[in-house]
Copies of this chain bind each other. A is one copy, B any other.
């Protein structure tokens, strides 16, 4: 006996079985369709890049997690750990060939050797959408609108974008005299929803003093109507300026597109430390706030300064695909329809295989997805198979039916069956059953 190699995957990696992969495919198809309807175009970049390029700006944690090695040609290479760094390199390399504003989406896998005990995977899918080359309220708004449309198309209209602006916040910090403590302040503010108001206030008081802490809490308070909150933070930041005007413009567009109530002004959203420079936002599902933001992003001053002197401002977002998928599952919003076959033609008599194949061919010509069960097994086994494939119909023709020259169409759910003289009639019956017009 030959020695067997134990089949297994690496820790932190996983296979996608057909059901899970179909769900993921259905999700990415919806997102892709929505992105395209807004004029975003797809790009792709290599999985492997020079380590120098991927790690140019990264430090500490990222550097430790990246899969890095020396290739056959002695090059120091690494697998991408996000889609932003390769996009920055891509824009620096190609901006001369591209038309600006450049609106791209990129759905692809990335790798991080993270600690799997935190329930993280080492291989996962990212989905990024960006508009590069302009700094305008319209571009900021388009990113919010495309997310909003994606959520609606995915069947989760009850989601809310929490919007803020780093410029307004920074101006407030300067006015409150705590600009030089901004790193620590941001870190505390970011934890507000986790640690609560009292603890936030206590921590802020320690580093900024009682008065500044009070003002900060007033600044980051949310829950009011957009314009009321905007008025308050504008006042606390020292009066109107282009940053507060930007928020007002975005709000006006959201109102005009009937999504005003789905875009909240939430001054406590800051999104980390030094990357974002303008609007920042997070997206929460109303029914599952506990899972956190399923889609976050913001405006940056300069995407690709590591690789070019060309200034490339932009605005973008990342969809948390795994998190979103888990949430859709938890909410019972599975969408796998496209991936399941509509009909399975049973093999009740091997000598009729040519007829079965011809029938399958004709049904597909009518736009009906179907397959032939290839081996002549027990009908029960074939029913189980059709069930597993999610088929709505079984099609039966054995010796008896052949003698009567009929085809039997069986509804897998109701187990009702009907007889049909030929494939044309079979196809009509299936199409009538799946068309909403035929419903009572």
Contact = CB atoms under 8 A, between A and B. Distances in A.
B341 A15 contact: no
A357 B69 CA distance: 48
A308 B6 CA distance: 8
A77 interface: yes
B134 A18 contact: no
Interface in A135-193: 136-139, 141-142, 145, 149
A429 B21 CA distance: 39
A372 B307 contact: no
Interface string A338-355: 110100100100000111
A243 interface: no
Contacts of A194: none
A242 to B, nearest CB: 13
Contacts of A410: none
A369 B39 CA distance: 7
A48 B17 contact: no
A272 interface: no
A357 B145 contact: yes
A374 interface: yes
A421 interface: no
A384 to B, nearest CB: 7
A389 interface: yes
A44 B23 CA distance: 12
A253 interface: yes
Nearest to A64: B72
A38 interface: yes
13 contacts: A1-B309, A5-B56, A9-B49, A15-B90, A17-B97, A18-B41, A18-B104, A38-B360, A39-B344, A99-B384, A253-B354, A253-B357, A256-B354
Interface of A: 1-2, 4-11, 13-18, 21-22, 24-25, 32, 36-39, 41-50, 52-53, 56, 64-65, 67, 69-73, 75, 77, 79, 89-90, 92-94, 97-99, 101, 103-104, 109, 111, 113, 123, 131, 134, 136-139, 141-142, 145, 149, 249, 252-253, 255-258, 304-309, 338-339, 341, 344, 347, 353-358, 360-361, 364, 369-372, 374-375, 384-385, 388-389
The 6 A-B residue pairs with the shortest CB-CB distance, nearest first, are A39-B371, A69-B69, A18-B41, A39-B341, A16-B44, A13-B46
